[in-house]
Amino acid sequence: MTGANIVVKSLESLGVKYVFGYTGAAILPAIDAICQSSITMVVNSNEQSAAFSAAGYSRSSHAVGVAVVTSGPAITNTLTAVADSYADSIPLIVISGQVPEHKIGTDSFQHIDVANVFGATAKKVITIDKIEQIESAIKDAYYLALSGKPGPVVIDIPVNLLQNESVYHAVPVETYRDIYAHEIHLSDHQCQIFFTLLQEANRPLLYLGGGVNSSQGSRAIREFNALLNIPSVNTLMAKGVVDENDALCMGLLGMFGTPYANKIIQSNDFFFAIGVRWDDRVADKVGFAIDAKIAYIDINPEKVHQIRTERSPEFSFIGDATNALADLTRYAKKHAITLDIHAWQDYATKLKKSWPLNYNKSSEKLQQAEVMEILNTLIDEKTIITTGVGNHQLLAAQYLKMKNPKQFLTSGSFGTMGFAMPNAVGAYHANQNTTILVIDGDGSFKMNMAELYTIGSRGLPIKILLLNNQSDGMVHNLEDVTCKGRHSASERIYDVIFADLAKHCNFTYAQRISARDELKTSLHTFLSTQGSAFLEVMTDTEEVLYPVVRPGTSYKDMELGPYIKEIQPQ
Ligand SMILES: Cc1ncc(C[n+]2csc(CCOP(=O)(O)OP(=O)(O)O)c2C)c(N)n1
Ligand SMILES: [Mg+2]
């Protein structure tokens, strides 16, 4: 069998149903074989989008998304999506065709040294130099990508090896899976130390991260907290890990976190961080003077060592957060552990009610925040959301209360504009009976606008909500503060009706609106359209995103803006 067919057989044995990619000479044998197999190839409009679609498949499921691209500019096009996945710990496989082996090192057409270029952005780069390696490399890459701190694996295969003949050994995939299947648990002694610290605390707070953003992780934290009812804050990567409608869930923490999350962190005395990497947009603001004891669980040894050095946690554990939480829950049940923190729970509940999000309600122009507020009442609890990067992203994170894990897909660490549409394509293929809703800004949308073609031409029933403030709003806001209001390169003076592009790309529903009285009904029609739908909402260029905790300042310096105020809860 050819190397190309070994690639296909290996992917099929791993249960891969879709690959996302783009063709070219060096990958052609593999793509030819894929298109004759049980695997469906989804052709994106460029390779960054293909890799993002594969990542969206992983972000919204338990499987690993696969992208297949050719050499040179094609594989370098995936670099941003690979780096994005690495930064957010997302499993991903990118397979690239390479120039034939005899041309490597000859300054050949479309050659790039993949191992060197991707060395710092991938969890692993595998350069295939023997056809016999292909089967084991692909099967191992799948489980390596998922294991420990998940991440992207790039497999580079010279085209002559895809064309040559070899033997497919059909090694059971479990052989590779089991390599990574070791479990580490908390001992009873460690559980006892943890609960002694927790019971000494009066104001404990959970700090939840992407490491628990899975069905098992979410179940584990919910079972743990069903016993203890500890207020929580979460990172962007952990939206929906606990039900955000819950009175004790304070939601997004950080530079643009909710008022109540950024307030509660100022008075906790036991900070239990789970599956987080202490992003500077969250943790720098805590500073080293946080007046709380710290407990930390994470699977990434490097991160735990860093935090042990920098923050001297009273308790820390390197291991899978799901297992550790299950151990703690078992111990708590066995020893009938309860917490006497009623005053703190009441404080948290009241804080959430007293400091609601708010925005400029007297403007004639629609506000992005207002769209989010209405949208939150219209989306069903299974809807999967992808976002761009900017004000619309953070407003979505603040206003949309997610009930379940893996529902809010966003570029957390890397902040990559252009993320939303291609990730939605991947999320759709992994969740075909679920509403997939893209929330994009006009700047972010433009970056991978060609995915309108992918979605429209394939008739994918994806809903795209474009919040068009005719600017790079987040930067526009920053310029008001740091550039004396000079708006350099952040306004879109030339108006294109993006909804018309969607119409031309065969969308079932495509509208632009700017009037308040159209908003609710348009959102409703848009969301209930059977096929692909595009709603462009024109919003206020001058809208400012609040709250904000500016770089170099701390949570006590949070600026709430002119509209967020304390109210008397009913
Ligand atoms: C690929 C990339 N380029 C540039 C940036 C810097 N950046 C962050 S937010 C932003 C503005 C985003 O504009 P838009 O998508 O319209 O969102 P808005 O803030 O207007 O809601 C820019 C330019 C980035 N994050 N990613
Ligand atoms: Mg914008």
Q: At which residue do the structure tokens 């943890």 appear?
A: 194
For the record, the structure tokens of 259 come out as 């008022």
If DSSP codes are grouped into helix, strand and coil, which group holds residue 132?
Answer: coil
- Structural domain contains residue 568: no
Query: Nearest bound ligand to CA 543?
Result: 1
Instruction: Return d(Cα 124, Cα 145) in angstroms, integer.
Output: 9
Sequence letter at residue 409:
L
Domain at 292, CATH number = 3.40.50.1220
For the record, the structure tokens of 17 come out as 């149903």
Domains in the chain, number? 3
Cβ(389) – ligand 1 distance below 6 Å: yes
For the record, the structure tokens of 277 come out as 């990497």
Q: Which of 444, 446, 464, 487 to mutate to test the pocket of ligand 1 (most atoms within 8 A of CB)?
A: 444
Residues in contact with 500: Cβ distance below 8 Å, sequence separation at least 6, in sequence order: 510, 512
Q: Which of 88, 256, 446, 474 to mutate to test the pocket of ligand 1 (most atoms within 8 A of CB)?
A: 474
Ligand 1 atom closest to the CA of 392, numbered from 1: 21
Q: What is the pLDDT of residue 290?
A: 67
Instruction: Return d(Cα 132, Cα 138) in angstroms, integer.
Output: 11
Instruction: Return d(Cα 198, Cα 20) in angstroms, integer.
Output: 46
Q: Which of 417, 470, 540, 548 to mutate to test the pocket of ligand 1 (most atoms within 8 A of CB)?
A: 417
Q: What residues does 318 pair with on adjacent strands?
A: 298
Query: Nearest bound ligand to CA 444?
Result: 1
CA 306 vs CA 150, 286, 543: distances in Å: 19, 16, 38
CA atoms within 13 A on the CB side of 334: 10
Cβ(475) – ligand 1 distance below 6 Å: yes
Sequence letter at residue 175:
T
Ligand 1 atom closest to the CA of 418, numbered from 1: 1
**Å from CA of 72 to ligand 2 middle:** 32
Three-state secondary structure of 447-514 = HCCCHHHHHHHHCCCCEEEEEECCECHHHHHHHHHHCCCCCCCCECCCCCCHHHHHHHCCCCEEEEEC
Cβ(367) – ligand 1 distance below 6 Å: no
Provide the residue-wise pLDDT of the chain in tens; the chain has 570 residues: 999 999 999 999 999 999 999 999 999 999 999 999 999 999 999 999 999 999 999 999 999 999 999 999 999 999 999 999 999 999 999 999 999 999 998 999 999 999 999 999 999 999 999 999 999 999 999 999 999 999 999 999 999 999 999 999 999 999 999 999 888 999 999 999 999 999 999 999 999 999 999 999 999 999 999 999 999 999 999 999 999 999 999 999 999 999 999 999 999 999 999 999 998 877 766 654 467 999 999 999 999 999 999 989 999 999 999 999 999 999 999 999 999 999 999 999 999 999 999 999 999 999 999 999 999 999 999 999 999 999 999 999 999 999 999 999 999 999 999 999 999 999 999 999 999 999 999 999 999 999 999 999 999 999 999 999 999 999 999 999 999 999 999 999 899 999 999 999 999 999 999 999 999 999 999 999 999 999 999 999 999 999 999 988 889 999 999 999 999 987
Per this entry, what is the length of the chain? 570
- Structural domain contains residue 567: no
User: Do 236 and 320 reside in the same domain of the chain?
Assistant: yes
Instruction: Return d(Cα 413, Cα 254) in angstroms, integer.
Output: 13
**Å from CA of 391 to ligand 1 middle:** 8
pTM above 0.85, yes or no: yes
Domain end position, chosen among 323, 354, 385: 354
Q: To which H or E segment does residue 154 belong?
A: strand 152-158
Domain containing residue 23: 3-180
Q: What is the pLDDT of residue 427?
A: 98
Cβ(471) – ligand 1 distance below 6 Å: yes
User: Do 175 and 194 reside in the same domain of the chain?
Assistant: no
Domain end position, chosen among 155, 180, 205: 180
**Å from CA of 124 to ligand 2 middle:** 35
pLDDT digits (tens, 9 = 90+) for 456-465: 999 999 999 9
**Å from CA of 237 to ligand 2 middle:** 22
Q: Atom 2 of ligand 1 has which residue's CA nearest to it? A: 417
Q: What is the DSSP string of 405-449?
A: TT-EE---SS--TT-HHHHHHHHHHH-TTS-EEEEEEHHHHHHTT
Closest among 363, 368, 401 to 383, alpha carbons compared: 401
Query: What protein residues have CB closer than 5 angstroms to ion ligand 2?
Result: 441-443, 469, 473
Contact 565, 358 (CB under 8 A): yes
Instruction: Return d(Cα 45, Cα 15) in angstroms, integer.
Output: 25
Q: What is the pLDDT of residue 289?
A: 42
Q: What is the pLDDT of residue 285?
A: 63
Instruction: Return d(Cα 530, Cα 461) in angstroms, integer.
Output: 7
User: Do 513 and 436 reside in the same domain of the chain?
Assistant: yes
**Å from CA of 415 to ligand 1 middle:** 8
Domain at 126, CATH number = 3.40.50.970
**Å from CA of 475 to ligand 1 middle:** 7
For the record, the structure tokens of 320 come out as 């899978």
User: Do 334 and 316 reside in the same domain of the chain?
Assistant: yes
If DSSP codes are grouped into helix, strand and coil, which group holds residue 271?
Answer: strand
Instruction: Return d(Cα 511, Cα 534) in angstroms, integer.
Output: 6
Ligand 1 atom closest to the CA of 472, numbered from 1: 13
Residues in contact with 304: Cβ distance below 8 Å, sequence separation at least 6, in sequence order: 296, 298, 316, 317, 318
Cβ(392) – ligand 1 distance below 6 Å: yes
For residue 410, the 8-state DSSP code is -
User: Do 385 and 247 reside in the same domain of the chain?
Assistant: no
Within 10 angstroms of residue 41's Cβ, the number of other Cβ atoms is 17
User: Do 313 and 406 reside in the same domain of the chain?
Assistant: no
Q: What residues does 188 pair with on adjacent strands?
A: none
User: Do 434 and 530 reside in the same domain of the chain?
Assistant: yes
- Structural domain contains residue 501: yes
User: Do 384 and 512 reside in the same domain of the chain?
Assistant: yes
User: Do 172 and 242 reside in the same domain of the chain?
Assistant: no
Residues in contact with 531: Cβ distance below 8 Å, sequence separation at least 6, in sequence order: 459, 461, 507, 508, 509
- Structural domain contains residue 548: no
Ligand 1 atom closest to the CA of 467, numbered from 1: 21
Q: Which of 470, 472, 480, 483 to mutate to test the pocket of ligand 1 (most atoms within 8 A of CB)?
A: 472
Cβ(416) – ligand 1 distance below 6 Å: yes
Q: Atom 23 of ligand 1 has which residue's CA nearest to it? A: 472
Closest among 87, 349, 423 to 236, alpha carbons compared: 87
**Å from CA of 389 to ligand 1 middle:** 5
- Structural domain contains residue 134: yes
- Structural domain contains residue 562: no
User: Do 124 and 247 reside in the same domain of the chain?
Assistant: no
Q: What is the DSSP string of 52-96?
A: HHHHHHHHTSSS-EEEEE-STHHHHHTHHHHHHHHHTT--EEEEE
Q: What are phi and psi of 23, to 5 degrees?
A: -85, 175
- Structural domain contains residue 322: yes
> Within 130-236, where are the H helices?
133-146, 159-163, 173-179, 188-200, 215-228
User: Do 386 and 288 reside in the same domain of the chain?
Assistant: no
- Structural domain contains residue 121: yes
Cβ(472) – ligand 1 distance below 6 Å: yes
Cβ(412) – ligand 1 distance below 6 Å: no
Q: ω before 313 within 30° of 0 (cis)?
A: no
Residues in contact with 497: Cβ distance below 8 Å, sequence separation at least 6, in sequence order: 512, 536
Contact 167, 4 (CB under 8 A): no
User: Do 350 and 397 reside in the same domain of the chain?
Assistant: no
Contact 427, 386 (CB under 8 A): yes
